[in-house]
Structure 1
Amino acid sequence: MSLFHLILVAIIQGLTEFLPVSSSGHLILLPNLTGMRDQGQTIDVAVHVGTLGAVVLYFWSDVKQAIRGLPAALTGRTDTAQARLALGLIVATIPTVLAGLALYLTGLTEALRSIAVIGWTMLLFGLLLYWMDQKGPQTKIAADWSLRDAAIMGLWQAIALIPGTSRSGITITGARHLGYTREEGARIAMLMSIPTIIASGVLLSLDVAHQADAQLAKDGAIAALFAFVSALLALSLMMRLLRSVSFTPYVIYRVILGAILLVIAYS
């Protein structure tokens, strides 16, 4: 891959991983709409590592709490806030892992990677985010996150395995439906991304372990670095804007892009 292609893929992944606009959808569209060759799973793993580093760094105080609570959570104890957070993240990740394995083993993943599917999911789930954001109450904060809410948001997150849905977008939609404030709902959704990205990265790594060579390793390092920087910038910007701005700008972008893709798909 050329350096330009690597940087382009990394920046697209970094900017769209945490914004509610679907990183997988944009990465699938890149070769389809530009004629560039697919970046391959090795680079996919690399950019996932980069975005993982960004979200861990940005939410490091919360991540530390979850790590401290993990031993207690694994034994079923929920007598501390740290343990409840750790157990909530585990519960929220299970539906996505199970659904992801089912798609992987049945081979349905490739069948969903079409412009028409991405167009519909961009459009419909964008409108759903708008509806929930406008109608949902803003009464809950992250400290109110219960195992029930974690399970419900985990089911929402599993829908994001359909390209174009947006993992962050659909989990934020679920959070707003449950009554979390915009900022706190996004915070929970971002924390939920950490074990999910780890799980998807491990699954992808199993497929690419035999492909590793010096040039791919170098390309992967470059992609990871640029994905890390762009993801950190996008995450910081979104969390700051949510203090005063709704999700409507992202919805408008999704609706316009979805409509364009549907025109392309059915023309």
Structure 2
Amino acid sequence: MSLIEAIVLGLVQGLTEFLPISSTAHLRIAPELFGWKDPGAAYSAVIQLGTVAAVLIYFRKDIVALVAAFFRGLARHEPFGTLEARLAWFVLVGTLPIGICGLAFKKVIENQFRSLYVISGSLIVLALILFVVERRASHQRTLADMRWKDAIAIGLWQALALIPGSSRSGTTLTGGLSLGLKREDAARYSFLLSIPATTLAGIFELKHLLQATERPSALSLWVGTLVAFGSGMAAISWLLRYLRSNSMLVFVVYRVALGVLLLVLLQAGKLKPLSGVENIDVPREPGKQQIEKQVTD
């Protein structure tokens, strides 16, 4: 992987991780359009650590307050006594679905699900769901109004993000809006909920990436991660400002347009659905020479 590739992929990761347009989809599409090798799900997960760092720094005051309230509540035997303590528990509980599903469907997610047909389909379907939810949502509730059932429901929405093209921020924002949360509050909770899931995924995949026989250089990983951090900080700041006075319609239109464009390019043969994906386990029937050799042996 060249440094140009690392910079481009890091920029794509940072800008699209927090916008409801799917970073995984764009990291899968960008190499295909430029004629590069697909970096794979492991590389994508590792450079996500850059966007995790962006969330940690941007929301450092909120995170310190949540962690302090969590342990203070345990010490006082009142684990749910304050809003901050409850939010900390909600983030932990909301992370369980994506963690369980991620481990259970790891191979499928990293291989067959990275097909551009799957990505284009999820881009369009989730966009339409977001459109309906956005139109019908009350946009009245705040984080202070959240309950356990809300945390579990948004956690289940987040698990859908394991399907490339659906978008982790997109699914959690949709889940939050469907429960009546204000756009900015839904986005804020989505950012906090991203921390455990993306951190664990990045660390888990980093181990496998380092054990692989063919992997990007350490420099490519560092450059991609640092660029993802910088662009991620910019994306968080912009999205929170945007959602204070704007709807999600622009993201709906973008997702549908991108999904349709992908389908057109796939049907025209300009793109291959699984071209460059390295980890595909496609069972092959033994060829004639192999059969003859087996018979001879």
Q: TM-score scaled to structure 1, two decimals?
A: 0.93
Secondary structure at the counterpart of residue 186 of structure 1: helix
Mind listing any 5+ residue stretches in structure 1 that lack a counterpart? none
Alignment RMSD (CA, Å): 2.2
Please state how far the C-alpha of 1:40 moved relative to its aligned partner.
Answer: 4.5
Give the residue type in structure 2 aligned to 1:233: A
Please state how far the C-alpha of 1:167 moved relative to its aligned partner.
Answer: 0.4
Superposed counterparts of 1:151-170, under 5 Å:
151-170=152-171
Secondary structure at the counterpart of residue 105 of structure 2: helix
Report what 1:39 is aligned to: 39
Report what 2:66 is aligned to: 66
Report what 1:260 is aligned to: 261
1:249 and 2:230 correspond:
no
Counterparts of 1:100 and 1:266, CA distance in 2: 30
Provide, for residues 22-45 of structure 1, a one-character-per-residue CA deviation record: whole Å limited to 9, x for no partner. 000111112223210123566434
Please state how far the C-alpha of 1:81 moved relative to its aligned partner.
Answer: 2.1
Give the residue type in structure 2 aligned to 1:7: I
Counterparts of 1:108 and 1:180, CA distance in 2: 30
Contact 2:118 2:165 in 1 (8 A): yes
Please state how far the C-alpha of 1:69 moved relative to its aligned partner.
Answer: 3.0
Counterparts of 2:224 and 2:51, CA distance in 1: 10
Give the residue type in structure 1 aligned to 2:260: A
Give the residue type in structure 2 aligned to 1:100: G
Secondary structure at the counterpart of residue 112 of structure 1: helix
Contact 2:10 2:228 in 1 (8 A): yes
Question: CA 1:172–1:45 in structure 2 vs 1: closer, same or farther (change >3 Å)?
Answer: closer
Query: Per residue, is there more helix in 1 or in 2?
Result: 1
Report what 1:128 is aligned to: 129
Mind listing any 5+ residue stretches in structure 2 that lack a counterpart? 269-297
Contact 1:157 1:171 in 2 (8 A): yes
Counterparts of 2:145 and 2:133, CA distance in 1: 19
Report what 1:97 is aligned to: 99
Report what 1:117 is aligned to: 118
Please state how far the C-alpha of 1:76 moved relative to its aligned partner.
Answer: 8.1
Give the residue type in structure 1 aligned to 2:219: K
1:48 and 2:53 correspond:
no
Counterparts of 1:227 and 1:200, CA distance in 2: 16
Report what 1:85 is aligned to: 87
| Percent of residue pairs bearing the same amino acid type | 37
Contact 2:137 2:177 in 1 (8 A): yes
Counterparts of 1:211 and 1:197, CA distance in 2: 21
Contact 1:42 1:220 in 2 (8 A): no
Contact 1:117 1:163 in 2 (8 A): yes
Please state how far the C-alpha of 1:205 moved relative to its aligned partner.
Answer: 1.9
Contact 1:46 1:221 in 2 (8 A): no
Number of positions where the alignment pairs a residue of Structure 1 with one of Structure 2? 266
1:197 and 2:198 correspond:
yes
Superposed counterparts of 1:1-16, under 5 Å:
1-16=1-16
Contact 1:9 1:39 in 2 (8 A): no
Structure number with bigger Rg: 2
Counterparts of 1:204 and 1:42, CA distance in 2: 5
Give the residue type in structure 1 aligned to 2:169: S
Contact 1:91 1:154 in 2 (8 A): yes
Secondary structure at the counterpart of residue 201 of structure 2: helix
Counterparts of 1:129 and 1:192, CA distance in 2: 19
Counterparts of 1:62 and 1:84, CA distance in 2: 13
Give the residue type in structure 1 aligned to 2:79: R
Report what 2:19 is aligned to: 19
